[in-house]
Amino acid sequence: MSRIAAIMTRKVHTTTQDASLASLRQVFSQARYQHLPVVDSSNRLLGIISVKDYFKALSPVMESAFETSVENYVQSRKVRHVMTSPVFSVFEKTPIKEAAALLLEHNIGCLPVVDSEQRLQGIVSWKDVLRYALQPKEKAAAK
């Protein structure tokens, strides 16, 4: 049975709950991913913030005619104000099929991968699961 460890991304960009929304602007504009785990100083998972969360937080201020209002808002608003917490997560040994069921059941785009102490180990997205499901059977059996 294939496990999450076989398909997860291990190098994960993270943020902290005290980071400003302004700090996410460049990350989300340049990144190919849409979710950032929020961790503490011990790399323990606290929450997750998505591009969707980011823009949802900005939408009330975007209608402002003043660019300075938007800039002040993103500088003062913190990740903790808009992140999702608690977060559904999985372990490296979690079967891929079980992770896929969680993604579908909760209508979420990714699952952080944690160890027994909730320290972030990686992340797996619906795209990773779909890519795995569509790969040739002999390649899938090797994992």
Domain edges within the chain = 4-142
143: pLDDT strictly greater than 60: no
The whole-number average pLDDT for the span 49-61 is: 82
Lowest model confidence (mean pLDDT) among 33-37, 78-82, 108-112, 133-137: 133-137
pLDDT in tens, 57-106: 877 666 665 666 666 767 678 999 999 999 999 999 999 999 999 999 99
CATH number of 4-142: 3.10.580.10
**Percent helix, strand and coil across the chain, each to the nearest 5:** 45, 20, 35
AA letter at 45: L
Handedness of CA 117, 53, 100, 14 (dihedral sign): negative
The whole-number average pLDDT for the span 24-44 is: 90
| C-alpha 13 chain-centroid distance | 9
Please report the pLDDT score of residue 26 as a whole number.
82
